[in-house]
Amino acid sequence: MDGNIPSGESFVRQFLHGQGFFKKELGVTCKEFWLPDTFGYSPQIPGLMRHMGLSRFLTQKMSWSFVNKFPHHNFTWRGIDGSEVLAHFPPGESYHMDCT
C-alpha cells in the first residue's frame, strides 16, 4: 500500500467499505485506522479520518529508518486542513514483537 499515490476519494471509499463491514458484522463502527505498512503518509489522512469518525491512528512502518529514528511513540498528527488524530507507533519498533 502506498499512502501518497491514492486519491482522497480512494481513501474515503476504503473507509466507507470498512466502516460498513464493521457495522454489519460487528454492530459497531471503528474509531481506529490501522496502517501497518505503507510507503508514505499523505497529509490528507488526518482530515479524511476525522470526516469518517476515526480518531486514532496506528502504524509500524516508521521503524524501518536506521538513519532518521522517529522520536515519538505517541503524538498528535495534524493534517493539512488542521484536523488532528491521536497517533501511536509501538515502542517495540519491529514487526516481530511479542506480547505477554
Instruction: Write out the catalytic residue numbers.
Output: 37
Q: Terminus-to-terminus CA distance in the chain, angstroms? A: 29
CA 87, 13, 50, 82 torsion-angle sign: positive
DSSP 36: -
Q: What are phi and psi of 58, to 5 degrees?
A: -130, 135
Quote the cell numbers at residue 67: 538513519
Strand order in the sheet with 32-35: 32-35, 56-59, 84-88, 74-78
